[in-house]
Structure 1
């Protein structure tokens, strides 16, 4: 009887050990995350390397991820645009009319509404096609070369355009001031109008024959407009 009881006890212990071993094995393999994780469908990180994901393991595609892609494309476009702009700037610089290639004249007065209006005309005297764009520089001076009055001001609201001048062609910009007899401004009579073409440093000198100009006081400002094609006549 004693031998039989010991045999039964050993058998029971063996069965328990086998059961415990089986349970341990099931816990290790059944979840698929302890010993050998598996990649589930839809759990890859979003484009752009953003690892953020919601609790279910589904990647969260944030607006910043999309913006990053857009910014990259935009940046590429901007770089291309900048390069193009640089190229255009270089081309414009090489095609610009230089002072030595131009002659300057002042057209006849076209008065109206108390204003005196003169066209400053630049003519391409060179043998090549060139361009002007923007405002001229201008100043009235006396016989000794002293400037009379303040610098002219640029007319607001003018839109600059590039004017292409073939040899012999002209562009004009407006020079305008209030009639001193109406405005009451103090006047002086210049001998010369000094004109500087756009983006140039060397000026051209034009004999001024139109009489007194305002130099101080009320409504003494002289205004300039941007260049347009033609002579302003």
Structure 2
């Protein structure tokens, strides 16, 4: 089984930035994007079946967008877990330059002051690579200036290694409040001005797990993020849609 003490430690952390922010504050420093958490907390590749119980090993679902005739060296969706694990061992992780990102609203998710966005990372390289963990994120205004951002790692799903073939995707569900003010949000506006809890975020910097450089993509649609940019992000899973959507 998965080490519950390890998982509780990971989930209990808040966002990590390239300049190292505390778990309690976590408001992003100007110009510094949070660093995703990933394979630094686990060996590259998948542990062998002899060291991890079958219930804790990645299943075929952890292979994103597997082709019917995969390239040599790439695990196929109908391979056993043990076979796929052996093939993927030593596979290089996905680097920022290997990926593209999108951040789009989940239709029908709005309710009770909350809404979900789908963060998708797609392998645009010509090689198989792996991704593992949580994304780092930093909200940006219309001029690409940093906005308050507080990324909290959600316990929606456990972290797992995902193999991305060229064109394959991994996704995270990101929950936020666009209109319910929280601690530290702006006060009442001057008469005649429209009130929002925080400035509108038009773009977002995304840091893939274990990387220190970022992708920039549009927030679609643009939105304020209340509670000083509080966003609850799930671990990345295989496929173009995050968990529980």
For the aligned pair, the TM-score class normalised by the smaller chain equals 0.5 to 0.7
SS of equivalent to 1:211: strand
Change (3 A) 1:88 1:192: closer
The question of 1:170 aligning with 2:169 is answered yes
- Listed as ranges, the gaps of 5+ residues in structure 2 are 1-41, 47-87, 183-196
Q: Give the C-alpha shift of residue 119 in structure 1.
A: 0.9
From the two aligned structures, give the one with the greater helix fraction. Answer: 1
The question of 1:227 aligning with 2:224 is answered no
SS of equivalent to 1:100: helix
SS of equivalent to 1:127: coil
The question of 1:214 aligning with 2:225 is answered yes
Of 203, 206, 213, the residue aligned with 1:202 is: 213
Q: Give the C-alpha shift of residue 113 in structure 1.
A: 3.7
Counterpart position of 1:143: 142
Q: Give the C-alpha shift of residue 135 in structure 1.
A: 0.2
Deviation digits for residues 203-232 of structure 1 (CA, Å, limit 9, x no counterpart): 000022313222446xx6211110011111
- What is the TM-score when the length of structure 1 is the normalising length? 0.55
The question of 1:153 aligning with 2:160 is answered no
Matches within 5 A, 1:76-155: 94-110=91-107, 111-114=109-112, 115-155=114-154
Q: Give the C-alpha shift of residue 161 in structure 1.
A: 0.5
How far apart are the structure 2 equivalents of 1:105 and 1:86? 28
Counterpart position of 1:12: none
Query: Contact conserved, 1:149 with 1:215, CA < 8 A, in 2?
Result: no
Query: Contact conserved, 1:132 with 1:198, CA < 8 A, in 2?
Result: yes
Specify the structure having the higher radius of gyration (Cα). Answer: 1
- What is the TM-score when the length of structure 2 is the normalising length? 0.52
Deviation digits for residues 43-74 of structure 1 (CA, Å, limit 9, x no counterpart): xxxxxxxxxxxxxxxxxxxxxxxxxxxxxxxx
Matches within 5 A, 1:15-30: none
How far apart are the structure 2 equivalents of 1:106 and 1:174? 10
Query: Contact conserved, 2:134 with 2:209, CA < 8 A, in 1?
Result: yes
Query: Contact conserved, 2:44 with 2:93, CA < 8 A, in 1?
Result: no
The question of 1:188 aligning with 2:199 is answered yes
How far apart are the structure 2 equivalents of 1:205 and 1:197? 11
Q: Give the C-alpha shift of residue 174 in structure 1.
A: 1.2
Query: Contact conserved, 1:105 with 1:206, CA < 8 A, in 2?
Result: yes
Calculate the aligned-residue CA RMSD, in Å: 2.6
- Listed as ranges, the gaps of 5+ residues in structure 1 are 1-84
How far apart are the structure 2 equivalents of 1:198 and 1:87? 12
